[in-house]
A and B are shown apart, each in its own frame.
Chain A
Amino acid sequence: MRNYPNDHKEIVSNLLEGRFIIYPNPMFATIQIQEDEYKEFFKESYGFELNIDSEFAYLSSNEVSEKRTRDFTLFLAMLCRELDYSGKNFRDSIELGTFDIDETEQLLRQSSRWEILEKTTVANFEGFIDAWNKKNVLKRTGNQFKFTKAVKLFFEFAVNVANAKLKEQQSL
């Protein structure tokens, strides 16, 4: 029988709960060190892909996907746009800043695109923040929240969309 790391159980249950494990959490270091073993473990045991980025790790599956990811991406996209419109550097704000839950909700509600968010899980804003707090994509403290490093995954998505669009326009 092989030796499992001390935090093995915690790592597995966190990841299976759909949580991100983020540097400098010691669990992240454990995963990084045993990258191959863990990838194989999740693939063989559950059929899930373990994704390890430079600063975070998470599971993905083509069969049990989180449908609300779309809602979160929409929320982030709209927030970035609103921040940019209001003259702030959206990336500094998202990566470093702290947001007030009520103020952020107001900011989104006054957006011309609120009609889109209204139909999603973002409409129940506090519940939405809590749900993503559980996943470690946001960190809630009282009436405030911050984005964790996991947000980079969604920025990457935006970059890929933009590049794909640029390519599409160039080939026209």
Chain B
Amino acid sequence: MSNLNLSGKDILKFLLTHYEFVQLVFNYSKPDFIIDSDKFHNLVNGYNTSSESKISLSKITTEFKFCRQLPTGEYKLNGNYTTFLEFIFDDFILDLPETLKNRYQAIFNHFTNLQTETNINRIILLIQEIIKVVEKFLNDIEGQTVRLLRDTESLKVNAENHSDFTIRIQKANYWIDEYIIPLNAILNKDHPNSVVNAIIQIQHYTSEKRILADTYELKREFEKLYACAVNAKTELDKTLSKLTRELLPLLERIKSDSIILSGFYHFIENIDQPENYIITLPILLRRTKGNAMSKTFSSEAEFYVDQFNYHTPEILYEEETEEIEWLPDASYFKEQLLKEREVSNFYQWCFDSLKEHTDNITLSKFFTVSNLILEEDIIAEYKEETRFEIQLSDAILRMPKVKIYEKLSE
């Protein structure tokens, strides 16, 4: 290198001695490898005060050509260094898939030329060029995949607050749309313009040529290109499977998980204002009407009714004393009940309403009114386990609190 007065060893020594500094600058200047002038000077000064080995600004810009100052004042890292540093630090900057696409376009062009070229020397040059571009492309795509995988892993880290969910969803969407789907198109063999397709064509072409080419030298060169294509095909298949079978499902999963958490977040935060979480809750069925009364109540009721039945035969012997009991008019009480629209304690209401008409509330009177609970256009809701007592003239009932309201007409 004519404009570099240093040997390769000097450069490696520089990188080794100032490894921490180089890494620091590398990290600060990512992803475009441009760093603000003040920040850069601070890094140099900070490094010089804390480290035994010192660096001078002029040396790293003019001699090592590690970076150069742009007309705007910022420093830009030398591309030769950054490529190597990306490799050393195993930290690749994502290229847009379009960039990769341009690169593999070169493979296409060279291959088209190769098929029509007759000059042996030109053929050899084209073969070497294709091998070079393919290798470079493989390196790039592998770096990109590693990077995507690592970034995706970092997305999996649990979120601290709600804005993190939104960021996770946005990032996952961005990566899927901007990287994975386009990369997939580049690598998918079903796509006629994909790189994998070009590689397959090269493989087919060279597998014949390595045997049928005119000279031994050409056969050897085609053999190399064939090996390169076979290897590239395997590598790209691996990458594709990483992208579509690991990365894409993982990102989709992160996305959908974050959406669930985000939905629950809104739900919890707006729990007292249901209108704010917009969507209605799943509508499940409560156990149906027949169970508005608990099993205990039903057996207790049966017990009372049984007692009632038991007395009936006795009455036969006491015909004179039988008196026709006044029974309340159920339709009148139903009208009253419907006027209420909603009654929070139905049995208490029965008792109170009867009380307005008579002081002698017997079981039969009470039941005539409380039977309204079975009416079809009335909905009963039973929630609490607690019971309260109702004192009738001939019995004490322990009743549950039952809420009643009118069924809305359809």
Residues of A participating in the B interface, judged by any CB pair closer than 8 Å = 15-18, 46-48, 58-67, 69-70, 73-74, 76-78, 80-81, 84-91, 113, 116, 135, 153-165, 168
Contacts and interface: CB of A to CB of B under 8 A. Distances in A.
A84 B158 contact: yes
Given A48-B285, A64-B285, A78-B268, A161 B279 contact: yes
Contacts of A135: 284
19 contacts: A16-B285, A18-B286, A63-B408, A66-B284, A74-B271, A80-B260, A84-B158, A89-B156, A156-B282, A158-B262, A158-B263, A158-B264, A159-B256, A159-B260, A159-B263, A160-B279, A161-B264, A162-B259, A163-B259
A116 B271 contact: yes
A46 B282 CA distance: 19
A39 B212 CA distance: 71
A16 to B, nearest CB: 5
Nearest to B159: A84
B259 A59 contact: no
Given A116-B271, A135-B284, A81 B289 contact: no
Question: Which residue, of B253, B271, B284, B289, has the highest number of chain A Cβ atoms within 10 A?
Answer: B284
Contact of A160 (B156, B263, B284): B263
Contacts of B263: 157-163, 165
Nearest to B408: A63
B257 interface: yes
Interface residues of B, number: 33
Given A63-B379, A90-B261, A164 B278 contact: yes
Interface of B: 156, 158-159, 253, 256-257, 259-268, 271, 277-279, 281-289, 379, 407-408, 410
A161 B277 contact: yes
A69 B283 contact: yes
A83 to B, nearest CB: 9
B161 to A, nearest CB: 10
B285 A77 contact: no
Question: Which residue, of A15, A64, A85, A164, has the highest number of chain B Cβ atoms within 10 A?
Answer: A64
A116 B269 CA distance: 10
Given A161-B267, A168-B278, 7 more contacts: A65-B285, A73-B281, A77-B265, A90-B257, A158-B262, A162-B263, A163-B259
Nearest to A167: B278
Question: Which residue, of A16, A62, A76, A84, has the highest number of chain B Cβ atoms within 10 A?
Answer: A84
A81 B264 contact: yes
Contacts of A165: 262-263, 266, 277-278
Tell me the dominant secondary structure on chain A's binding face. Answer: helix
B386 to A, nearest CB: 14
A53 to B, nearest CB: 11
Contacts of A168: 278
A64 B288 contact: yes
Nearest to B272: A116
A42 to B, nearest CB: 10
Nearest to B280: A157
Contacts of A47: 410
A18 B287 contact: yes
A27 B283 CA distance: 21
A18 B259 contact: no
Contacts of B285: 15-16, 18, 48, 58-61, 64-66
B268 A159 contact: no
B379 to A, nearest CB: 7
5 closest residue pairs by CB, A with B: A158-B263, A77-B264, A162-B263, A161-B263, A60-B283
A156 B408 CA distance: 29
Contacts of B283: 60-62, 65-66, 69
A158 B278 contact: no
Nearest to B284: A66
A60 B282 contact: yes
Given A73-B267, A77-B264, A78-B268, A159 B284 contact: no
Contacts of B277: 161, 164-165
B152 to A, nearest CB: 14
Contact of A164 (B158, B260, B264, B279): B279
B158 A64 contact: no
A86 B257 CA distance: 15
B222 to A, nearest CB: 51
Question: Which residue, of A62, A157, A160, A161, has the highest number of chain B Cβ atoms within 10 A?
Answer: A161
Contact of B267 (A48, A61, A74): A74
Contacts of A15: 285
A77 B158 contact: no
A91 B286 contact: no
Contact of B287 (A16, A58, A155): A16
Contacts of B407: 63
